[in-house]
Amino acid sequence: MIILGVDPGLTRCGVGVVEAGAYRRLSFIHVDVVRSDPHESQDLRLLKIYKGLCAKLDEFIPDAVSIERVFAQANRNTVLGTAQAAGVAMLAAAQRGIPVALHTPTEAKLAITGNGQAQKIQVERMVTRILNLNTMPTPADAADALALAICHALRPSGALQGGEREQHLTPAQRQWAEATRKANRGKMLHRGM
């Protein structure tokens, strides 16, 4: 099962992709940050985030998307931008028939470190260890995205939720989603991924 994690943000939106294999063995696939220019208007920034996420979804064809659940913060502008970025991530996944799971930062910290109050550096170190990486992913948004993907994979029912969304699709949408996944997986195999 391929899981794409998203740490939503308007300036930097972290994207991390992992594969959950047998016995919950996790393999690193990709990590990146989709960026938008803070000097552009908010609509154009959201469009850039949306297009960047669509490109990642089309490239890696995940079975599930794990997004950080937005919570209230002291800075209202920050939480609004984060919520909007999370919304475009959910939209991009829904358009492709990919199920979405929302996880709080506390859930991700708990899944990764065993402590829901862990410091960011502890999470980054555990992500590095779990995925057998040589260096910690940077910036922090990238590590957080991987943590969200890992959190979803390690949840007791995480690996089983992949097909839930497709039950609510029309037959035509289901057929399009499956054809897209097959075509893109074929491309990934051809590229040696």
Q: List, for residues 133-166, the tens digit of each pLDDT value.
A: 999 998 999 999 999 999 999 886 544 344 444 4
Confidence of residue 177 (pLDDT cuts 50, 70, 90): low
Annotated binding site for Mg(2+): 7, 68, 141
Catalytic sites, residue numbers: 7, 68, 141
Percent of the residues in the chain that have a pLDDT greater than 90, as a whole number: 68
Separation between Cα atoms, residue 10 and residue 129, nearest integer Å:
28
pLDDT at 122 over 80: yes
Alpha carbon of 21 to those of 25, 27, 153, 159: distances in Å?
Answer: 5, 8, 9, 9
Provide the β-strand partners of residue 68. 103
Q: Are 136 and 155 in contact (CB under 8 A)?
A: no
Q: Where are the domains of the chain?
A: 2-190
Average confidence (pLDDT) over 44-67: 97
With H, G, I as helix, E, B as strand and everything else as coil, classify residue 126. Answer: helix
Coil, strand or helix at 30? strand
CA–CA separation, 191 and 193 (whole Å): 6
Fold of the domain spanning 2-190: Nucleotidyltransferase; domain 5 (3.30.420)
Q: Which residues are annotated as a binding site?
A: 7, 68, 141
- State residue 80's pLDDT score: 87
